Chains A and B, each alone.
Chain A
């Protein structure tokens, strides 16, 4: 339901007011939302380049030393198992022998968290529901030690070529890759670990045109698609299986409101997610949410990462 008044637009989603402000788009609108949610941002926040060492190919020390020999300075990111911030480099890290040999991948710090939190292991049957371009898929394979069975799905054939290239480059041999809609594709399997790093609205840190392109209607549409994928994710889990739901969106409709929807509609239990950032929001634009939303994790831009949201659920 949309109510338009002379100076303010109130947009309702699922019966809860989302934000009162002028219009449904633009820098001022979205920064106003974030301030209302408790974080004052400038809209100029950036995230440093980061890499993730691939333990299937090399030990961290070997990669750090090899790159240091080429004048690349790295700094270990303390909350990541194999993540390093690029302090300085005289060349593109996507064009080095070590990169081509699959010793590391370029992966922003926050985006390394979902797989690390989910922690798939050698005995798991794991699924990456929205795999392309393959960074998190190769990360899952690394945690699994190239053992077990890892399934990766994406709905875009063009983007799946990037997944295939990543798997080959990084030496992954335990993965089955499918073209299909993760919400409906039949894989003939149930999973102990599912990663749903869902298609989302993104955030302005990684997209310089974000404020000019995004509207609240985009957010709504993405949130609906995410719920469709969340339902399927729970269906695909074995009892006792774990789901890690993540987005790089700052919008509560795609984050805490969807996590709450998951709790209310699928009978899962939420697990505490630690690490950088702050607890998930329990109050959104004056509406109180389930207090268990604080078990989730929200990363606001400006703390060395882009925006991110993580929720971990267990199927009873």
Chain B
């Protein structure tokens, strides 16, 4: 999963631990794995990691796991910037309160509000300004059901 490396994550589940259902990937706790006896009709199982679109799209659950890793790239934002980002907007560099590590052009960053991950983006230049380009945000939950 190249995106995970781009975010500075060392997370790499064992292939044997990963369950694939169509284009979606999951891992299961031991009790859930023991309870999985029937596969017919199964559409979702345990911890959802993400799905293959053109590129791998991580789930909100996986992003949460990545944000808890000390070494992953993160930017911390306040509420106003967080809400705009969750509405699908890009972030201006000046709305970032803190970046871990410091900004590197082309690097991917998890966007964090009060310790919780609300999405991720890539640090790049647009229109002469430095921005975090929105690649995914939690507002996706609302757009999916429109």
Contacts and interface: CB of A to CB of B under 8 A. Distances in A.
Interface of A: 94-95, 97, 100-102, 125, 147-149, 151, 157, 160-165, 167-169, 171, 173-180, 185-189
Given A97-B83, A161-B144, A189-B38, 19 more contacts: A94-B142, A95-B142, A101-B118, A149-B31, A149-B35, A157-B43, A160-B44, A164-B44, A169-B138, A169-B141, A173-B46, A173-B47, A174-B32, A175-B44, A176-B36, A178-B41, A185-B38, A186-B38, A188-B37
Contact of A100 (B36, B41, B142): B142
B145 A167 contact: no
Interface stretch (B3-11, B56-64, B89-97): B56-64
A302 to B, nearest CB: 31
A100 B141 contact: yes
Contacts of B64: 171
Nearest to B34: A149
Interface string B77-104: 0010011001000000000000000000
Nearest to A163: B44
Contact residues of B: prevailing secondary structure: mixed
A101 B63 CA distance: 12
Nearest to A147: B31
Contact of B118 (A100, A149, A163): A100
B32 A176 contact: yes
Contact of B44 (A94, A102, A167, A186): A167
Nearest to B79: A97
A180 B61 contact: no
Contact of A186 (B32, B40, B144): B40
A101 B116 contact: yes
B48 interface: yes
A175 B26 CA distance: 11
B61 A168 contact: yes
Interface string B3-45: 0000000000000000000000000010110111110111111
Query: For the side of the interface on B, what is the size category?
Result: 20 to 34
B82 A175 contact: no
Contacts of A162: 145
22 contacts: A97-B86, A100-B86, A125-B35, A149-B34, A149-B35, A157-B43, A164-B44, A164-B48, A165-B145, A169-B60, A169-B141, A173-B29, A175-B44, A175-B45, A176-B36, A176-B44, A176-B45, A177-B43, A185-B41, A186-B38, A187-B37, A189-B38
Contact residues of A: prevailing secondary structure: mixed
Contacts of A95: 142
Contact of A176 (B42, B59, B83, B86): B42
Nearest to A185: B41
Contacts of B34: 149
A193 to B, nearest CB: 14
A155 B60 CA distance: 26
Contacts of B113: 97
Given A125-B35, A180-B41, A101 B144 contact: no
Nearest to A58: B116
Contacts of B82: 97
Contacts of B45: 175-177
B138 A100 contact: yes
Contact of B138 (A101, A148, A174): A101
A160 B42 CA distance: 11
A108 B17 CA distance: 38
B118 A177 contact: no
A91 to B, nearest CB: 11
Contact of A148 (B31, B46, B48, B118): B31
Nearest to B38: A188
Contacts of B118: 97, 100-101
